[in-house]
């Protein structure tokens, strides 16, 4: 597979195996979309109740003749990434006459791009789709790389496809619509990509202090290099391992434990934002990396400082151990009932498929509980 095109020019496209990733300003936003979707009467938009209110007006303004009846709006939140929502989208498309020449625009965060990509890639055995991510996590991770999916039985991404959109249109202006916790949540995936795959990028960003009072300056840094660099890192590894059989699994660092933590608390009084759970998972898995893979005490200390300074501590107790480990056992990368994790030998050097004994995982969790 070809490597993605790289450039430090924020106006230039990154090409990932035929999927174009654009970085337009608002002036050129509509023109870029039009180049992919063709006739508006054959197109549909999937959004959630939040992005329908905050982001859809900009898309609508670019296509004043767009038929409002072709907008599919679902509730927000990870809990909506399920078979019921998938069936609703399929039924909506069928009822409104969507054909194989139709296109679905997925306007929203990671939940929308995961769900919408799955719906489009399976409806009539596949229709065209375009991602317009509106969250930092969507821009830097979820919308990039061609993974789609839904959750089943409280376990993340157990059904899905590998399917690239025709394009991903990244407009950082949407970041201004995000509450602070969602903006902060997206940074977890940026730190993850750096830790797993690029030590120079990690050294560049590990000292960031993510304070809400500096929101404008932080968004400016994202717009002027951090988002593009994160996408380039992910695109390069996806181009070499699209089906997630080898190096791409490094992007799972922090997610084995993080996903389990997220799902354990889903439906509680207040769900844990995905990025907060991933940050907690990275801290646990960095501790395990120190035990199993030779991550040095100094390197671990840098990771610990970055995560503890920037992310709220997620409250878990020792009694949650069993539930977390039970959920980890459903991770797709496990082999023959052995828990396999992507761990760090050093920042930028990740080892996929490390066999992790349950006792060591419990040790990592115990470390985190003491920190929390």
What would the DSSP string read from start to end of 214-239?
GHHHHHHHIIIIIHHHHHHHHHHHHH
pTM: 0.93
Confidence category of residue 318, pLDDT binned at 50, 70, 90? confident
Contact in structure between 250 and 209 (CB atoms under 8 Å) = no
Return d(Cα 320, Cα 153) in angstroms, integer: 19
Q: What's the whole-number mean pLDDT along residues 193-219?
A: 97
72: confidence class by pLDDT, cuts 50, 70, 90: very high
Please choose, from the candidates 66, 77, 52, 139, the residue with its C-alpha nearest in 3D space to the C-alpha of residue 103: 66
> Does residue 189 or residue 154 have the better pLDDT?
189
Please state at what angle helix 227-240 crosses helix 180-197, rounded to 10 degrees: 50
Whether the predicted pLDDT of 48 surpasses 60: yes
Could you read off the pLDDT of 218-274 as tens digits, one per residue?
Answer: 999 999 999 999 999 999 999 999 999 999 999 999 999 999 999 888 766 567 899
Whether 133 and 139 have beta carbons less than 8 Å apart is answered as yes
Task: Provide the pLDDT for residue 365.
Answer: 96
How much of the chain is helix, strand and coil, in % rounded to 5? 55, 15, 30
Of the candidate ranges 198-207, 234-243, 256-265, 356-365, the one whose mean pLDDT is the lowest: 256-265
pLDDT cut 70: percent of the chain above it = 95
Identify the top-confidence range among 8-12, 34-38, 147-151, 269-273. Answer: 147-151
pLDDT in tens, 27-37: 899 999 999 98
**pLDDT value, residue 1:** 32
Domain boundaries 14-178, corresponding CATH code: 3.40.50.1970
Q: pLDDT category, 327, cuts 50, 70, 90?
A: very high
Rounded Cα gap, residues 190 and 135, in angstroms: 13
- Predicted pLDDT at 270: 67
Domain residue ranges of the chain, discontinuous segments joined by +: 14-178, 190-371
- What band does 206 get if pLDDT is binned at 50, 70 and 90? very high
pLDDT computed for residue 268 by the predictor: 63
Strand boundaries in 85-239, DSSP class E: 103-108, 128-133, 150-152, 155-159, 167-169
SS3 category, 164: coil
| Section 310-328 average pLDDT | 90
**Cα–Cα distance between 81 and 83 in angstroms, integer?**
7
Torsion of CA 251, 254, 260, 261, to 10 degrees: -140
Report the chain's mean pLDDT, rounded to a whole number: 93
Instruction: Find the range with the poorest average confidence among 31-45, 186-200, 300-314, 350-364.
Output: 31-45
**Which pLDDT belongs to residue 303?**
98
Place 11 in a pLDDT band, splitting at 50, 70 and 90.
low
pLDDT at 4: 40
Q: Band of the pLDDT at 6, cuts 50, 70, 90?
A: very low
Residue 74: per-residue pLDDT: 98
- Residue the block writes with tokens 């977890």: 188
> Can you give the pLDDT at residue 371?
74
Q: What is the mean pLDDT of residues 41-56?
A: 95
CATH of domain 190-371: 1.20.1090.10
More confident residue, 66 or 60: 60
| pLDDT score for 316 | 82
On the question of pLDDT at 187 being above 70, the answer is yes
Whether 8 shows a pLDDT value over 50: the answer reads no
pLDDT for res 10:
55
């Amino acid at each position: 597979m070809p490597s993605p095109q790289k450039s430090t020019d924020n106006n230039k496209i990154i090409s990932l195996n035929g999927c174009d990733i654009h970085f337009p300003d608002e002036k050129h936003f509509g023109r870029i979309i039009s180049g992919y979707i063709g006739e508006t009467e054959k197109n549909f938009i999937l959004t959630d109740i939040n992005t329908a209110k905050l982001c859809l007006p900009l898309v609508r303004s670019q296509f004043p003749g767009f038929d409002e009846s072709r907008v599919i709006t679902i509730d927000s939140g990870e809990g909506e990434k399920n078979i019921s929502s998938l069936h609703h989208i399929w039924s909506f498309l069928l009822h409104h006459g969507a054909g194989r020449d139709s296109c679905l625009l997925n306007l929203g965060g990671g939940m929308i791009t995961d769900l919408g990509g799955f719906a489009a890639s399976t409806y009539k055995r596949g229709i065209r789709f375009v991602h317009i991510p509106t969250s930092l996590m969507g821009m830097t991770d979820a919308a990039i790389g061609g993974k789609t999916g839904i959750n089943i039985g409280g376990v993340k991404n157990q059904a899905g496809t590998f399917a690239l959109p025709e394009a991903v249109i990244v407009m950082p202006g949407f970041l201004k619509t995000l509450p602070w916790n969602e903006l902060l949540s997206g940074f977890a995936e940026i730190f993850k990509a750096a830790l797993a795959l690029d030590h120079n990028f990690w050294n560049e960003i590990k000292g960031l202090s993510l304070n809400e009072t500096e929101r404008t300056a932080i968004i400016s840094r994202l717009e002027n290099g951090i988002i593009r660099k994160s996408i380039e890192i992910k695109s390069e590894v996806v181009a070499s391992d699209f089906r997630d059989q080898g190096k791409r699994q490094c992007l799972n660092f922090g997610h084995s434990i993080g996903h389990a933590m997220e799902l354990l608390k889903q439906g509680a009084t207040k769900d844990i934002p995905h990025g907060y759970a991933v940050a907690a998972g990275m801290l646990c898995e960095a501790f395990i990396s120190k035990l199993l893979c030779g991550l040095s005490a100094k390197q671990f200390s840098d990771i610990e400082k970055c995560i503890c300074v920037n992310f709220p501590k997620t409250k878990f107790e020792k009694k949650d151990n069993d539930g977390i480990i039970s959920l980890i056992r459903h991770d797709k990368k496990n082999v023959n009932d052995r828990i396999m994790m992507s761990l760090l030998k050093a920042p930028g050097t990740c080892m996929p498929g490390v066999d992790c004994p349950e006792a060591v995982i419990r040790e990592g969790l115990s470390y985190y509980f003491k920190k929390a």
